[in-house]
Amino acid sequence: MKESAQIIGSTSFHAAPDKDGMVEIGLGIHRNFHNQGYGYEALKGMWSWACKHQEVKTLRYTVSADNAASVALVRKFGFIHVGQQIDDIDGPEEVYELSAQEFKGIS
């Protein structure tokens, strides 16, 4: 949190944009800070920064199907469910994507 310099979670880019311009972002907010808008602000900031780079064409977010709060969060931004994948660490995940152009129009 900016006011107290307290770390309440983390965000990260999983890698540089791939050959198609897709970039994936991860998010983790400590449970004591859920449902307070921090995840929304963190993702909005990361995606806004990413969309300033011409090579970024698609934003991707993957989430466990049982993480309803995280699914609702990406749906707020207009992300669409595009499939599923099996992550080596996290197991089955739902995949959501939004074009960088569409994100620029709503941010």
pLDDT digits (tens, 9 = 90+) for 63-91: 998 999 999 999 999 999 999 999 888 88
**Which string of DSSP letters, residue by residue, matches 17-28?**
--TT-EEEEEEE
Instruction: Confirm whether 3 is domain-assigned.
Output: no
Instruction: Confirm whether 38 is domain-assigned.
Output: yes
With a cut of 80, say whether residue 15 has pLDDT above it: yes
Mean pLDDT of the chain: 91
CATH number, residue 53: 3.40.630.30
Angle (CA) 77-82-83 rounded to 5° is 130
pLDDT digits (tens, 9 = 90+) for 88-102: 888 899 999 999 998
Q: Residue 88 is encoded by which pair of tokens? A: 């080596």
Which residues are bridge partners to 67 per DSSP? Answer: none
Q: Look at residue 3 in the predicted model and tell me its pLDDT.
A: 74
Nearest alpha carbon to residue 59 among 28, 105, 92, 91: 105
Instruction: Confirm whether 1 is domain-assigned.
Output: no
Which residues are bridge partners to 93 per DSSP? Answer: 85
**65 DSSP 8-state letter:** T
Instruction: Confirm whether 2 is domain-assigned.
Output: no
SS3 7: coil
For residue 19, the enclosing domain spans 9-106
Instruction: Confirm whether 45 is domain-assigned.
Output: yes
Count of domains for the chain: 1
Q: Look at residue 65 in the predicted model and tell me its pLDDT.
A: 86
Determine what percent of the chain is predicted with pLDDT higher than 90: 74
